[in-house]
Structure 1
Amino acid sequence: MKRSAGLVAIGLTGLLLWALPSAQADTPLTIATASPAGVYHLAGRAICRVVDLPCTAESSDGSSANLRSLRRGEVELALAQSDIHFYAVNGSEGFREAGPDPRLRSLFSLHSEPFTLVARRDAGIRHLDDLSGRSVNIGNPGSGQRGTMLRLMDARGWSRSSFRMVNDLPADQQAMELCHGNIDAMVYTVGHPNESVAQAIRLCNAVLVDVEGDAIDLLVEAYPFFSRTWIAGGLYGPNQPAVRTFGVRATLVASADTDPEQVYRLVAGVFESLQRFKAYHPAFGTLTPASMIEEGLSAPLHEGALRYYREQGWIDDTATSVELTRGAGSP
């Protein structure tokens, strides 16, 4: 009897040890995104749909809030603008008090996000400098659009007092505030087309405004995460012209503590279903593996992501940074 009981105990122990890795692999992943009105939330949901993992896209206050939640261990993955990603890695701007985040890791980047200035047509805002003395929504605390706007304000020499009124509304509320005449303009760092921008143009006869000038030249020259870009004409109606501006990229990041096997499976799932993923939104249409593993990434690659990229031959086995091998093609 004793021997039989011992064999049962050994068998149960072995069964438990065998089950532990499987249970760990099935732990749900949470991706912190942003407002449901933006492309981040859709991107998070699209990632969860194309991967063979339990995965949830969670709405949030945006990039800065996401990176703080990730650092506190409240989420496993986060979407963040490349500029906010850079600040968190280096402990600069809004992350000075917290200091650099040595545990932040990159997975890949996604779409380009033009800085978008939307104004009521009757407000007479034709250029960036026309914002001075107007009522402007700069975005809620914790959002990427607010972080980019604050950087632009600094480059331009503006403070909150440079405007008649500064609103701190989230992205899903700003279009209606514009329509109701409570603000003259709103800014949004987002992939296009975007429903919030479309709503403002459709319901309020709003216009997109070029964002150019010496302040923009300074930003693009000084910071590697900014680049000149444009919003294509015709996205919001046949009479909408192309708009010149600058922008960042959306990036997917994790903590070094996020399970490497789950990160590997998620990254593999996205790249092996890239065509399906790209179909979820027009902003994803130009994505390529080369751009996704090279552009906008300030933190080191997560070991799970690095393993997949090396297997594909996109990064040299001896590389210690994000270094693409020549000829990286589509999966």
Structure 2
Amino acid sequence: MKPTAGLLAIGLTSLFLWSSPPAQGDESLTIGTASPAGVYHLAGRAICRVIDIPCTAESSEGSSANLRALREGELQVALAQSDIHFYAANGSEAFREIGPDSDLRSVFSLHSEPFTLVVRRDAGIEGFDDLVQRSVNIGNPGSGQRGTMLRLMDARGWSRSSFRLVNDLPADQQSMELCHGNIDAMVYTVGHPNASVAQAIRLCNAALIDVQGDAIDLLVEAYPFFSRAWIAGGLYGPDQPPVRTFGVRATLVASADTDPDHIYRLVAGVFDNFQRFKAYHPAFGMLTPEAMIRDGLTAPLHEGALRYYREQGWITDEAMTAKLAH
């Protein structure tokens, strides 16, 4: 077994052994995550493991679906990409028809999620522009990876007809489609290392490709939720070079109606057990409280989260507090 595969196995095994901490008389929390193959689901389970409220990490169709379920009262807490978070808070893009979600609240942000292009080595794809007239999986409706891909397609002036074939598969199915030769490339907005990406590279002789160019430059300059990102070399084997791309952040959000005491206890559980939480996945290794309460957050901070951050002295400027709270 390669060292990276062992690292992933250890992280996955520790999370699959998870069970909710007992807490008598408390209502339970359900955290909407995404595909079981991605880091969101592992992040949700890690949060559940360090808090003192009965908690379930529920797989879902992804960021957009989570934010709609949160708005409709079907979820109390959810994970969402920072770009989809922005769209929901402002009533733009896929949320234009239903308008801004004035009850959406930020809790904290998590890991960086590089936009990841994985291709079959025999497909002749050396850059993002080479996807034209290829078979590509852009992600299932409601997923963050699909939202980012559609934004990039718009910036490039592409439509679905720009590709030979477009698949709408969820993340946990796309690597095997690549292995079977049904698609030439798959895109994934995800923290690394990731088990699905590792599977594609290990079983399908796939490769990671840089995502750069004028269209990406324009996106990073135009939108506050995008930033430059990179995937470290060697994560998926000794011959895997560093990859330059762009990306978003994972964010944890809640409804304003979610019990402030529950959100306070969730936040306290994560930050009071911070080193333990970060150990659950390598993508969490670079997290800091300073960045987590600032980066990628569009909606105001939830009342329960804000209470904890004030107690820690992390938010002390009154003008900043008023801006975040209102």
Question: TM (normalized to structure 2)?
Answer: 0.91
In the alignment, which residue of structure 2 is the partner of 1:231?
Answer: 231
Residue 317 of structure 1: how far off its partner (Å): 5.8
SS of structure 2 residue aligned to 1:321: helix
1:156 aligns with 2:192: no
Residue 321 of structure 1: how far off its partner (Å): 2.9
Q: Which amino acid aligns with 2:161?
A: S
In the alignment, which residue of structure 1 is the partner of 2:10?
Answer: none
SS of structure 2 residue aligned to 1:45: helix
SS of structure 1 residue aligned to 2:322: coil
Distance in 2 (CA, whole Å) between partners of 1:165 and 1:75 is 34
In the alignment, which residue of structure 2 is the partner of 1:320?
Answer: 322
Residue 218 of structure 1: how far off its partner (Å): 0.4
In the alignment, which residue of structure 2 is the partner of 1:79?
Answer: 79
Distance in 1 (CA, whole Å) between partners of 2:54 and 2:311 is 24
Is contact 1:128-1:210 (8 Å) kept?
yes
Is contact 1:134-1:184 (8 Å) kept?
yes
CA RMSD of aligned residues (A): 1.0
In the alignment, which residue of structure 2 is the partner of 1:115?
Answer: 115
In the alignment, which residue of structure 2 is the partner of 1:18?
Answer: none
User: In the TM superposition, what are the counterparts of 1:13-52 in structure 2 within 5 Å?
Assistant: 23=25, 26-52=26-52
1:129 aligns with 2:91: no
Distance in 2 (CA, whole Å) between partners of 1:119 and 1:322 is 41
Distance in 2 (CA, whole Å) between partners of 1:138 and 1:206 is 17
Residue 150 of structure 1: how far off its partner (Å): 0.2
Q: Which amino acid aligns with 1:138?
A: I
Moved over 2 A (4+): none
Cα deviation, 1:110-166, whole Å, max 9, x if unaligned, reads 000000000000000001100011000000000000000000000010000000010
Distance in 2 (CA, whole Å) between partners of 1:207 and 1:154 is 25
Q: Which amino acid aligns with 1:259?
A: D
In the alignment, which residue of structure 1 is the partner of 2:260?
Answer: 260
Structure of larger gyration radius? 1
Distance in 2 (CA, whole Å) between partners of 1:133 and 1:265 is 50
Distance in 2 (CA, whole Å) between partners of 1:28 and 1:46 is 16
In the alignment, which residue of structure 1 is the partner of 2:8?
Answer: none
Distance in 1 (CA, whole Å) between partners of 2:87 and 2:322 is 22
SS of structure 2 residue aligned to 1:238: coil
In the alignment, which residue of structure 2 is the partner of 1:15?
Answer: none
Distance in 2 (CA, whole Å) between partners of 1:94 and 1:132 is 25
Distance in 2 (CA, whole Å) between partners of 1:55 and 1:152 is 35
In the alignment, which residue of structure 2 is the partner of 1:54?
Answer: 54
Is contact 1:226-1:248 (8 Å) kept?
yes
Structure 1 gaps, min length 5: 1-21, 324-331
In the alignment, which residue of structure 1 is the partner of 2:174?
Answer: 174
Residue 316 of structure 1: how far off its partner (Å): 1.4
User: In the TM superposition, what are the counterparts of 1:272-283 in structure 2 within 5 Å?
Assistant: 272-283=272-283
Is contact 1:310-1:317 (8 Å) kept?
no
Distance in 2 (CA, whole Å) between partners of 1:322 and 1:191 is 27
Q: Which amino acid aligns with 1:242?
A: P
Residue 212 of structure 1: how far off its partner (Å): 0.1
Distance in 2 (CA, whole Å) between partners of 1:156 and 1:109 is 28
1:101 aligns with 2:101: yes
Q: Which amino acid aligns with 2:68?
A: R
Residue 97 of structure 1: how far off its partner (Å): 1.1
1:285 aligns with 2:285: yes
SS of structure 2 residue aligned to 1:320: helix
SS of structure 1 residue aligned to 2:173: helix
Distance in 2 (CA, whole Å) between partners of 1:245 and 1:129 is 13
The number of equivalent residue pairs is 300
Cα deviation, 1:246-269, whole Å, max 9, x if unaligned, reads 000000000000000010011011
1:300 aligns with 2:300: yes
In the alignment, which residue of structure 2 is the partner of 1:218?
Answer: 218
Is contact 1:315-1:322 (8 Å) kept?
no
Distance in 2 (CA, whole Å) between partners of 1:81 and 1:261 is 25
Distance in 2 (CA, whole Å) between partners of 1:311 and 1:187 is 41
Distance in 2 (CA, whole Å) between partners of 1:74 and 1:39 is 22
